[in-house]
Amino acid sequence: MAQAQKITPRAKDFSEWYGDVIAQAQMADYSPVRGCMVIRPHGYRIWELMQGALDAMFRASGHRNAYFPLFIPMSFLAKEAEHVEGFAKEVALVTHTRLRATGKAGAKAVEVDPASALEEPLVVRPTSETIIYAMFAKWIQSYRDLPLLLNQWCNVVRWELRTRLFLRTTEFLWQEGHTAHVDEADAEREARLILGIYRQFAEEWMAMPVLTGVKTDSEKFAGALRTYAIEALMQDNKAIQGGTSHNLGQNFAKAFGVQYQTAAGGLEHVWNTSWGVSTRLIGGLIMTHSDDNGLVAPPKVAPVQVAIVPIWKSDDERGQVSGVGSQVKTDLEKAGVRVELDLRDNLKPGAKYFEWEALGVPVRLEIGPRDLAAGQAILARRTGGKAPTPIAGMVAAVTGALDEIQSGLLAAAKERREQNSIRGVTKAQFLELMNGKGGFAYGGFCGDGACEAEIKEQTNATIRVLPDPEFRSPEAPTTCMWCGKPSVAEAVWAQAY
């Protein structure tokens, strides 16, 4: 690992702390291309583990993976009015196909060849609805072809003025699911099914508790009939949208002529959904669990779950402790645990401890000569606490510790969220909360977009979701928290990333 740097305390500067944690854990770095990031191996391995878990869930629910082009004809975006309005200011365009040499030196050595202009510019994929539904129009002929359930893992590009690693970058990685159905009811079931998968993944794998619910019209996806989301509360009491699932209705089907012959012989437009999560989830993981010592990774998505650090002073001791450490590593790997045995000679044990801690490794095993004599190792948890553990029962002890750390992280994050949530919030409480520590504010909403916009302008808070029944307050609000008019729904407000 590179030279250790001091991590800024969260209480001093949360933004600086976030960047320090990423740097110290070697998760990502800024690229020479403005607004883009390089995901380093440790960060990318977390993404691979997330990807593997989600992909298994998608496949188990009947979805298959495909891949669609990075480039989309510009005219495709114009076919769905809301969609083009939503993405027009974010797209990158390809207008020419080649460069030519100028004979000059330096940066001016090449220039765009004006003779290579494309007849129609190509949009670099900001999302794939348009090109996918153009293909659906070719593939779907009959009700027998439905439902069509596809997903793709890919990158997308959306120009961003202010970027932060993982949270908001010009290019990022994600998965986007796209499906076609015979009717609205089936599309709605699909959208809700995926929302449930996202929640299950966030809570069971990332130990990140989330709220689920529907977005307001001003916050929904451009071109969607309805957008559902999972929302989590970070340690600085700002919200993060972890994933979205959209019931697109028939808007894109009508724009691209995606029709099917019904069982009765008629012709109908399909109903579509789209849904996605991105590498933004890694930012959510960092801000949910990590501390002033660095990254805290939930065991299920930790690249290394256990680091074994043998301790020795002589060559004889090195041979003894490394031999036992190697056997423990083998035993743990047979049990499916991701393990590293740290036999580096150029670092003292304390420096190794610091490094594995900064990388977020959930469990560290320290094995010295005295431990061998006692038939034990010291099991240290990243979340705190260490104790001697018999080597004979190490596999059971380690797997048990990993399970306890995983469930403990979820419980702690859920408790913190509830401690920083106010239900039945008044306008005065809301203003104090948004001008102070932040958090989730539950209150009545009149449904008026103008009222919603006024709240956002004055407090920088948005409605994260109109929560699903499970998350609603015991008593439904009767008046709007902000304007006092009759309430049509309970809303959850927060300032967000």
pLDDT tens profile 73-93: 999 988 887 877 878 889 999
pLDDT at residue 329, as a whole number: 98
In the numeric block, which tokens belong to residue 124? 């670099």
Worst-scoring range by mean pLDDT, 157-161, 289-293, 312-316?
157-161
Region for residue 207 given its phi and psi (left: phi exceeds 0; alpha: psi -120 to 50; beta: otherwise):
left
Q: What percent of the chain has pLDDT over 70?
A: 99
The Cα 277–Cα 285 span in angstroms is 13
Q: Is residue 471 scored above 70 in pLDDT?
A: yes
Strands 110-112 and 171-181: unpaired
The Cα 485–Cα 477 span in angstroms is 11
Identify each DSSP E strand in 250-336 by its residue range.
259-261, 267-269, 271-278, 306-310
State how far the alpha carbon of 235 is from the alpha carbons of 208, 282, 342, 413, 431, in Å.
11, 14, 32, 9, 20
Inter-residue contact 467 to 477 (CB < 8 Å): no
Inter-residue contact 228 to 274 (CB < 8 Å): no
Q: Is residue 118 scored above 80 in pLDDT?
A: yes
Q: Is residue 2 scored above 70 in pLDDT?
A: no
Three-class SS state of 240: strand
Inter-residue contact 282 to 295 (CB < 8 Å): no
In the numeric block, which tokens belong to residue 256? 């691209």
The Cα 398–Cα 404 span in angstroms is 10
Comparing CA positions, the residue from 46, 485, 492, 457 lying closest to residue 284 is: 46
- Partnered with residue 110 across adjacent β-strands are 101
Single pTM value for the model: 0.95
- One-letter amino acid at 411 equals A
The size of the chain, in residues, is: 497
The Cα 363–Cα 120 span in angstroms is 55
Cis peptide before 303 (omega within 30 of 0): no
In the numeric block, which tokens belong to residue 108? 């001016």
pLDDT tens profile 131-141: 999 999 999 99
pLDDT at residue 417, as a whole number: 98
Q: What value does the mean pLDDT of the chain take?
A: 96
DSSP letter assigned to residue 279: T
Confidence grade of residue 4 (pLDDT, cut at 50, 70, 90): low
pLDDT tens profile 408-463: 999 999 999 999 999 999 999 999 999 999 999 999 999 999 999 999 999 999 99
Q: Helices 41-60 and 280-289 meet at what angle, rounded to 10?
A: 110
In the numeric block, which tokens belong to residue 320? 């003894």
Q: Is residue 3 scored above 70 in pLDDT?
A: no
pLDDT tens profile 95-111: 999 999 999 999 899 99
Confidence grade of residue 398 (pLDDT, cut at 50, 70, 90): very high
pLDDT tens profile 208-226: 999 999 999 999 998 899 9
Phi, psi torsion values for 166, nearest 5 degrees: 70, -40
